[in-house]
Amino acid sequence: MHIEATGTFIKLYKKLSPDIQKKVKKTLSLFQENPSHPSLRNKKMTGQKNIYEIRVTLNFRITYTRKGDTAILRKVGTHNLMKQP
């Protein structure tokens, strides 16, 4: 899967601690290799038309949309931030 990041994603990513940034990179690497890997808990967000989420840690998520074989990263942050994907 090809991955692209929006400006919003990059801005939010830069605000994360170095430890969480490292985990985001590891998660995205796994996501690129195998989007269906169980540890990602990749799923469509409830009530959203074309927005999906993957798990970075217990409290951090990444939201993205799909366009063909490309995942467009929208946001990264705590589970509470993702209530407005």
CA distance 45 to 33: 22
Residue 85 reports pLDDT greater than 90: no
> What is the reported pTM?
0.90
Residue 22 reports pLDDT greater than 70: yes
Domains of the chain, residue spans: 2-83
CB 15 within 8 A of CB 24: no
Q: What's the pLDDT tens digit per position in 29-73?
A: 999 999 999 999 999 988 888 999 999 999 999 999 999 999 999
- CATH assignment of 2-83? 3.30.2310.20
DSSP string computed for the chain: -EEEE-HHHHHHHHTS-HHHHHHHHHHHHHHHH-TT-GGG--EEPTT-SS-EEEESSSSEEEEEEEETTEEEEEEEEETTGGG--
